[in-house]
Structure 1
């Protein structure tokens, strides 16, 4: 991405999703200072923990670069975080008074779009722990989905994993055929539905999403349940993609940890509009940091 400015300026980009956050620190002339990873970063759930995780990961970058931790006060930070579309979540997160010189906070989808298209017209569809689409055409934003794990996130790793557990219980009850996928899921809990209930009671979206690779693996083996789950997810993602393209976006980037596995299941008229991103969401967040530095 295009980064220009004094070499002693520090620009931090943070791409925070439901499973983890990625941090990248550059000097103003674009030189890479270092990178790190942190924990789940959906600020709707635990904004204080997310804030501490970001600061701790930033400190680890500074430590490895041989810079004092006090340098955080010189950093212009661009934070693209899941949950940042909700006003109350943003307010609670910013109440933690992060130690950066300036902050530009927006959604992880916006950071991903900025990285993918560098500010030009286009749409991104994140399919990771959750799902969310964003089209930006002539400066006008259109969000599609991303309304939270409780009522949204269709086609995501969360949705695939949660439905897989539900359908495994159907098989346990005799309401649906017992397939290899259902058997494997049940074996993971000792064939004990009560263990599944106890786990699900405290499971976070990322916990369900960790089951998605197992579903895709069994779909590749033609397991009927796995195929049905993946086809359902593909239909849900197709509906989001159709709406994004209907806004006038000329191109679509499919991003996120589940995107690569799901793309072959999408219809050709969607797949043909998908293009690679120019840069990742962390670089998009660094562009946000540049904007914050300009304002400061």
Structure 2
């Protein structure tokens, strides 16, 4: 049995994934959990991380107590907000140590193995990171209220906004607007009530409908995808201007929006060497030499 374990977690606004490797680097197990954006409720996020970690341990044939031997690296959305990270780390956990970075940082570590380069995550939210000569340059990732361009959140929320434009006569209706309105029983009030309490992932669930209508050249759907692509292009351009030799596109919308990008930008894209979970494991390995102190209460219900 290995003395130490290394746990890597890739956490976003929709779900999180965990991977466990032993000290020789062998893959032991993987698992999934719920939302892990640290700007959400810290207890919910830690619960999601623990759910994924326990599932990975179970797949590896490990007992839950074995997580106490794990150096954990958490690459989670929203970790650029230090107060949110502090709240997360105050939650009880079973790990030997915990290192936290943004999901973008973990994705960069996995994609480029720590070498110069950039990543752009296009998923429920969005965040880009270029690392050149040790200098980090972030784009987007400032949270759902003011950022997350070219994301599922933004596409879904904008689709609702423009459906309301069609509803009250400010814009021409389209099959997409009709389909969205139908989902809410034809009621603008139902759309408003949904939006008032929706989380980023809830808005993102409208993206498949938008893409379906974009394939049929629906004017509203085409406008939404085109605008998201323009936002992605601005972020890629900024990452290249920061000195990155190439950019890896990651996340559920990466393949969709890549096809819409102009050729000069597509030529600067590259495939990742590894994923964000392995990047988070590398983060945990880097922290092993000087592990963070465990909280006084490490019991987990």
What CA distance in whole angstroms lies between the structure 2 residues aligned with 1:143 and 1:135? Answer: 7
In the alignment, structure 1 residue 17 sits paired with structure 2 residue 12? yes
- The CA deviation at 1:56 is 2.4
* Match of residue 198 from structure 1: 193
What CA distance in whole angstroms lies between the structure 2 residues aligned with 1:68 and 1:254? Answer: 36
* Match of residue 74 from structure 1: 69
What CA distance in whole angstroms lies between the structure 1 residues aligned with 2:57 and 2:224? Answer: 43
Q: CA offsets per residue over residues 219-276 of structure 1, 9 Å max, x none?
A: 1111111001111111111111111100110000011111111111111111110001
Q: Which runs of 5+ in 1 are unaligned?
A: 1-5
1:230-241 counterparts in 2 under 5 A? 230-241=225-236
1:228-267 counterparts in 2 under 5 A? 228-267=223-262
In the alignment, structure 1 residue 176 sits paired with structure 2 residue 176? no
In the alignment, structure 1 residue 104 sits paired with structure 2 residue 99? yes
What CA distance in whole angstroms lies between the structure 2 residues aligned with 1:236 and 1:53? Answer: 30
What is the TM-score with the length of structure 2 in the denominator? Answer: 0.94
- The CA deviation at 1:41 is 0.5
What CA distance in whole angstroms lies between the structure 1 residues aligned with 2:72 and 2:3? Answer: 15
What CA distance in whole angstroms lies between the structure 2 residues aligned with 1:126 and 1:57? Answer: 21
Aligned pair partner of 2:50 in 37, 50, 55: 55
* Match of residue 3 from structure 1: none
Could you list the structure 1 runs, at least 4 aligned residues long, displaced by more than 6 angstroms after superposition: none
What CA distance in whole angstroms lies between the structure 2 residues aligned with 1:94 and 1:173? Answer: 47
Q: Which runs of 5+ in 2 are unaligned?
A: 292-301
Aligned pair partner of 1:83 in 36, 57, 78: 78
What CA distance in whole angstroms lies between the structure 2 residues aligned with 1:178 and 1:191? Answer: 13
Say which is worse superposed, 172-181 or 277-286, in terms of deviation: 172-181
Q: How many residues align?
A: 291
Other structure's SS at 2:289 match: helix
